[in-house]
Amino acid sequence: MMVQLVSGLVGDDEVAALFGDDVHLAALLSVESALARAEAACGLIAAEAAERIVEVCRSLVLDRDSLHHGTVKDGVVIPDLVRQLRAAIGEPHAGAAHLGATSQDILDTALALQLKALFDLIDRRLAHVLTLLDDWAAREGEVVLMAHTRLQRALPFTARDKLATWAEPLRRHRERLAATRRSALTVQIGGPVGTGDSFRGHAPAIIAAMADELGLSAAPAWHAERDRIADVGHLLAQIAGSLGKIGQDVGMMAQNEVGEIRLAGGGKSSAMAHKNNPVGAEVLVALARFSAGLQGTLLQALVHESERSGAAWTLEWMVLPPLAETAGAALRHGARLVDGARFVPMA
């Protein structure tokens, strides 16, 4: 949903790939596969059925056009995917696939899997930016800068003080990420209306087994309880916000009249050859503001009516991927900005 050239600036290909169809469909099949194994383990389906399902999930090439049309018609991809999956499995095991599950079981668990990969990537990038900030502090921490409060020169302080203000929230975000990973990235298994009845008393065991196989947390079905999703969005918006603050600060310091920072590779103007625009700093501010708005919208999806709201759920799908990509882009820009910058001591 964005001019591609602008995507190069404000997007993030690596994160976008985590929400692309390839990864998404692979995650869905991983979940169907894990479900089959867990159901075999508790005797709900035969071991050979599970083997056949796992094998087909590993190799199945899905008809994407059909998935596309199915998604448009059904509002979710799963009915058509299960149809294709069962056709590929063939008799006598076709019916053992997706047994007892509802679309949301598969989609929410797959989302948790995709978010797990996202969290790994985000955490790596947070660590990387923190390393860059720490290195910078080691190199230039003693540089004396002017602190500014309410847009006015206040008192001198050191680059170390400034860098700490940038780094500390990111350090806390790593803790938040670890906590959110545990609490929010959970298997979703509940069957049609979330009661687990379709799993004939085995839902807790299936959830535990799938959590173990997929590296997710176990929790009772949470179909219509979207607080964990809101937590994920909050984490992403926090990250983009903190990087937006770094961008805003860098932009202020890079003003010609202030000149407290020197940036590598600033942008050129088509009209003024003398300009060296702090493009990365500005993009960080834009990303933070975009992210804040998206999280405000994601919170609207907490009003998830009855046992499954197509409206609220679809809204999550619209908001979460750009929220993730925005956080990823912010970390990418943050790293580049920090890496190439040098402080200029007060005159």
Q: Which of residues 224-283 bind its own copies (CB under 8 A)?
A: 224-227, 230-231, 234, 237-238, 241-242, 244-245, 247-249, 251-252, 254-258, 265, 267-272, 275-279, 281-283
Instruction: Report the DSSP pairing between strands 342-343 and 152-158.
Output: unpaired
Task: Report the residue from 286, 330, 331, 337 that binds its own copies according to the rule CB under 8 A.
Answer: 286
309 catalytic? Reply is no
Calculate the alpha carbon distances from 156 to 255, 305, 344, 346 in Å. 18, 54, 13, 9
Q: Least separation, in Å, of the C-beta of 280 and its own copies? A: 8
Residues 87-146 that bind its own copies (CB under 8 A): 98, 101-103, 106
Instruction: Give one word for 225, left, alpha or beta, with left for phi > 0 and alpha for psi -120 to 50.
Output: beta
58 binds its own copies (CB under 8 A): no
Segment contacting its own copies by CB under 8 A, of 16-24, 46-54, 130-138, 202-210: 16-24
Between 120 and 227, CB nearer to its own copies: 227
The overall longest dimension of the chain from CA atoms, in Å, is 81
Residue closest to 26 by CA, chosen among 116, 115, 108, 113: 113
Please report how close the Cβ of residue 249 comes to its own copies at its closest, in angstroms. 6
Distance in Å, CB of 342 to its own copies, minimum: 17
The least CB distance from residue 82 to its own copies, in Å, is 5
Q: How far apart are CA 117 and CA 137, in angstroms?
A: 30
DSSP classification of residue 242:
H
Which 154-193 residues touch its own copies, going by CB under 8 A? 154-155, 157-158, 161, 164-165, 168-169, 172-173, 179, 183, 191-193
93 — phi, psi (to 5°)?
A: -100, -5
C-beta of 128 vs 308, nearer to its own copies: 308
Catalytic entry in 160, 262, 289, 308: 308
Helix (H, G, I), strand (E, B) or coil at 217: strand
Span of 7-15, 39-47, 130-138, 206-214 interacting with its own copies by CB under 8 A: 7-15
| Window 192-221: residues binding its own copies (CB under 8 A) | 192-195, 197-198, 220
DSSP calls for 160-187: HHHHHHHHHHHHHHHHHHHHHHHHH-B-
Tell me how many degrees the CA angle 145-278-12 measures, rounded to the nearest 5.
120
334 binds its own copies (CB under 8 A): no
The catalytic residues are 269, 308
